[in-house]
Structure 1
Amino acid sequence: MAGADTRPTEPLPQCAASTPPQRRRRGAWPWFVGFAIVALLAVAAWFAAEAIARQVVIGVVRDQVRTQLALPDAQPIDVGLVEPVLPQLIGGTLTELTVSSEDVVLGSVEGDMSVVARGVPVRGSDDIAGAEGTLVLDEEQLRALLSGVEGFPADSLGLAAPNITATTDLTIFGATVAVGAALTPSASGGDLVLSPASLQLGGAEVSADELQDRFGRIADGVLRDWDVCVAEYLPAGVTLTSVAVAGETLVAGFDIDGGIANDPALQESGTCA
């Protein structure tokens, strides 16, 4: 038609294809936080179980020691364990166990006791792999022990490392002479042995031969070895193995039979011939 707009029509612009929305990626940090929380809870549970296990073992050991040694309930007893304890209980054996107490009374003997045991079974009837003990006596406690030895001058006893000192009165022709002796302690066959190391007469050191020449057989009581049986104060499964004077104390070492935990015969008091 004349006069009509003859401009070519242009196609409508096509809409660009819609792009799907991008999914936001969550960071990894929540996983790390969750793992850390779980790990902390596991560690806390482990330490809680470890603390409980440790206290149970210590309580059982204290009760057993008081029972076996007939100690009073109020007797303080320190128990040491190699950590951690829980894996040892699961494995059935305590690697190392230390028990110590002061002023322990064993019959008429009193002293500070310490025992170290290794490979201690927590169930069953297996023997302890090995154990040693020490008993420390001060001068007064040692005097009490030796006062039961016939003829020994315990009232004059003293400690002068490495020896024990004592003074014996010898009487000859109505005169009394004091003879001092330094005695070296040792262990032999489970007994405590005191052997003369030096002698003094009137403040001067003399030899055994000189003393023998002057007093004859009267001097035999000073020149002798003192053999002291200590088995009656100990369980049969405990044997004296070493003795030494250290400072102002006598330190005695003992070997402990591994079967003592299960054998009643080893738990009974020893005897002296």
Structure 2
Amino acid sequence: MTTETLPIEPAPAPRHRRRWPWVLVGVVVLLAVLVVVADVAFRAYAENEAATQIEQQLPENVDGDVDVSIAGFSFLTQVAAGRLGEVTLDAPALSVSGIPIAAHVVATGVPTDLTKPVDDVRASVSLDQSAVDAVVTLPGDATLALGDGDVSYEGSVDVLGLTVGYRVTGQVSASGTDVVITPQGAELTRGDSALDLGGLLEGVAGDPVTVCVAQYLPQGVTVDSLDIASGGATATVSARDFVVDEQSLRTLGTCS
């Protein structure tokens, strides 16, 4: 009896999965993470460096810390284009000639080369009553008080040989580098009583009072609006095609 030996077939070779697509995806993700990390790091460095440079270039009469933040998805792309879309500056505790103010600045179209002009700069500057008293000088011995949407100022006047006090209420407007107080009503004060000035308003406080604030602003910066609230005032100022360098920041306007 003959026994036939059947041929032994080799075992099939193990199939190797194609891993390279997953490796490629991993590399791409890793590169994306590195780009984001680099973007964040360079953005933070640029913000800190910009804050330092701005603080060093402030006018001699201005002192305080400035925080800088740069908006936009990719900081490195903006740098490569040579222009930052939006830069925000916050200085909540500045001192201008000893006057305390808070400033919030938004600049758009900011060139990375600061010898070139910024497209648009808009800022809000907040002052409390003591700061307003230092900035606004009224004729005679009048003193200014900030109300809720309006202002009033008090002083004294000679009437028929008697020195009596008066109070004038008015509205405030701002344009260019001037703040204008337009009287709306007046009363003559005498102890606890008050007499309506009536026709004497024109002679006592009928003319608008104009206060120039150019000497507190860099040349080329103008006041757009002024909002009054009890105990404080907020001015909105702006400038176009403004070069943010040491010379521009330290060159203040003048009043004629």
Q: TM-score, normalised by structure 2?
A: 0.84
Could you list the per-position Cα deviations for residues 3-25 of structure 1 after superposition, in whole angstroms to 9, with x for gaps in the alignment? Answer: xxxxxxx8763644x53431211
Partner of 1:270: 253
Is 1:114 paired with 2:114? no
Alpha carbons of structure 1 residues 25 and 82: separation in structure 2 relative to 1, 3 Å: same
Q: Which stretch of structure 1 is more off in the superposition, 257-266 or 180-189?
A: 257-266
Select which of 217, 227, 233 maps to 2:210.
227
Q: Which 5+ residue runs of structure 2 have no aligned equivalent?
A: none
| Residue 252, structure 1, aligned to residue 242, structure 2 | no
CA distance in 2, matches of 1:166, 1:211: 13
List, as ranges, runs of 4+ consecutive aligned residues in structure 1 with deviation greater than 6 Å.
Answer: 71-74
1:65-76 to 2 correspondence within 5 Å? 65-70=54-59, 75-76=64-65
- The 8 Å contact of residues 89 and 106 in structure 2, kept in 1 or not, is answered as yes
User: Distance in 2 between the 1:146 and 1:72 partners?
Assistant: 18
Higher helix share: 1
Code of the aligned partner of 1:140: S
Return the alpha-carbon distance in structure 2 between the equivalents of residues 80 and 67 of structure 1.
17
**1:96 has 2:86 as partner:** yes
Q: Give the deviation of 1:83 after TM superposition.
A: 3.6
Give CA-to-partner distance per residue, 1:103-144, whole Å, 9 cap, x none.
322335431111110010113744212111111111111011
- Structure 1 CA distance, aligned partners of 2:184 and 2:128? 21
Q: Could you tell me whether the CA contact under 8 Å between 1:127 and 1:261 is conserved in 2?
A: yes
Q: CA deviation at 1:161?
A: 1.7
- Counterpart residue number, 1:166: 153
Give the SS at the match of 1:237. Answer: coil
Deviations 1:20-60 (A, max 9, x none): 431211335x5466345434432432232122211222122
**Cα distance in structure 1, aligned partners of 2:101 and 2:183:** 25
Maintained 8 Å contact 1:146/1:152: no
Helix, strand or coil at the partner of 1:261: coil
Q: What letter is aligned with 1:200?
A: E
Please give the secondary structure, in 1, of the residue aligned with 2:17. Answer: coil
1:207 and 1:31 map into 2 onto residues whose CA distance is 92
Quick one: which amino acid aligns to residue 228 of structure 1? V
Find the aligned partners of 2:166 and 2:225 in 1 and give their Cα distance. Answer: 28
2:168 aligned partner, one-letter code: A
Partner of 1:7: none
**Farther-moved stretch of structure 1 (34-43 vs 166-175):** 34-43
* Aligned amino acid, residue 52 of structure 2: D
Inter-partner Cα distance in structure 2 for 1:34 and 1:114: 48
Larger RCO (CA under 8 A, 6+ residues apart): 2
Cα distance between partner residues in 2 of 1:152 and 1:176: 12
Q: Is contact 1:163–1:245 with CA below 8 Å preserved after alignment? A: yes
Indicate whether 1:13 and 2:4 are aligned: yes
Q: Which moved more, 1:121-130 or 1:261-270?
A: 261-270
Aligned mates of 1:15, 1:78 — CA distance in 2: 86
Distance 1:146 1:169, change over 3 A: same
Question: Max radius of gyration: which structure?
Answer: 1
CA contact (8 A) 1:133 1:256 kept: no
Q: Partners of 2:32 and 2:23 in 1: how far apart?
A: 14
Unaligned runs of 5+ residues in structure 1 are 1-9
Alpha-carbon distance in 2 for matches of 1:128, 1:224 = 39
